[in-house]
Structure 1
Amino acid sequence: MTAFLTFPLTGNRLAMLIVCASLAGCGSMSSFTSDTFKPYVPEVVQGNFVSKEQRQAISLGMARAQVKDILGTPLVTSLFHADRWDYAFSIRRQGVPPQSFQLTVFFKGDVVASVEGGDLPSESEFVERLVQQRQAASVPNLQASEEDLKKFPVQKASGDAPVSAPLPASYPPLEPTPR
């Protein structure tokens, strides 16, 4: 009967200890910034990238095979709209704003009738957009002054040259010994 009466008291003490530890942990969270713990965001690339140079290579009257050679296989083709090829591209990278581009090629018969799409970047412009600009970190001073060197004790032998640690008399074998 006495064990039953002391158990709730022990449970209360344990609960109080957990609450105090939690509050102490919350007080130390002020040293963390929002950049301390960042989740990993995978790079997501979807579609076919079409550059400004590729767009300029497409002209009215080109055959479907020529367009496919220049732009690649279209991302979207429809049985209901066989005269339309859609090229869409999107990329999301951590630290870089998401980018999306689209281009639509319309055919009349087997030749290009029109090309529609937004402003496409050149290949070099696209690569520049993907580069994440990092702040240059300050490089610490890697030179030690004479005062800094004097802080470390140096053992000297009979001469002026410092003494290094003695070499071991034997070394362990490189290969295991057969049994």
Structure 2
Amino acid sequence: MRSIIPTSLAALALLGLAGCSSLPSWDSLPSVSGDKVLGLVTPYRLEVVQGNVLTKEQVAMVKPGMSRNQVRDLLGSPLLTDIFHENRWDYAFSIRRQGAAPQARHLVAWFEGDTLKSVDVPDDLPSEKEFIASINTFKAGKVPKLELSEEERKALPVPVRPAAQAQEPVGPVRSYPPLEPRS
């Protein structure tokens, strides 16, 4: 009996060590920043949008000579205004969305006093349609047809409507006096 216990403990230890060798090493395990955790679970990623979305159409409306309030009305409040550089407004934008490439842009508006002097626009500033297409992660398949053509409507069979039949009242039939008094 005494020799069975050490033998069984040794067998369990060998099985445990054999099981450990089949697991991947900690260095080869993907981290949480990868696509999957431990190769099994895809974590939810929070969509992070920072700053102002600026498009070519918005920036095209901004012209030198506009006041600060007019620029703010068109582009929104700047993400960064520096008290040491009062003549500069920084519009920064970044977005990280699962299934789409991350984007980052930086636009600078330069002022002389209260008047817009110039705008430094990045070369990769998209139009509204380009921006929406770049963040759209909806994988659209075949779009269903939602409306019939006139020929298809005429080809449909005419529905047969059954004749309305008078139904016998269910339950006791009651007679009520008129609501208005007769004169």
Match of 2:177 in 1: none
Which of 1 and 2 has greater Rg?
A: 2
Q: Deviations over 1:83-130 (max 9, x none)?
A: 000001011112211111111100001000010021311111100001
Distance 1:135 1:17 in 2: 50
Q: Deviations over 1:16-39 (max 9, x none)?
A: 23234456677xxxxxxx775433
Distance 2:98 2:115 in 1: 41
Distance 1:126 1:17, change over 3 A: same
Match of 1:86 in 2: 90
The alignment status of 1:57 with 2:24, answered yes or no, reads no
SS of the equivalent of 1:114 reads: strand
Q: Deviations over 1:35-70 (max 9, x none)?
A: 754333221111111111110010000000011111
TM-score by length of 2: 0.60
Match of 2:149 in 1: none
The alignment status of 1:121 with 2:126, answered yes or no, reads yes
Distance 1:23 1:74 in 2: 56
5+ residue gaps, structure 1: 27-33, 138-179
Given candidates 32, 41, 48, the residue that maps to 2:45 is 41
Match of 1:172 in 2: none
Task: Figure out how many residues of one structure are paired with residues of the other and give that number.
Answer: 128
Distance 1:134 1:16 in 2: 50
Distance 2:79 2:64 in 1: 21
CA RMSD of aligned residues (A): 2.8
5+ residue gaps, structure 2: 25-35, 143-183
User: When you count helix as a share of all residues, which structure comes out higher?
Assistant: 1
Distance 2:83 2:42 in 1: 44
Distance 1:135 1:8 in 2: 64
Distance 2:130 2:140 in 1: 21
Q: Which amino acid aligns with 2:16?
A: I
Given candidates 103, 110, 116, the residue that maps to 2:114 is 110
Q: Which amino acid aligns with 1:61?
A: G
Distance 1:63 1:78 in 2: 18
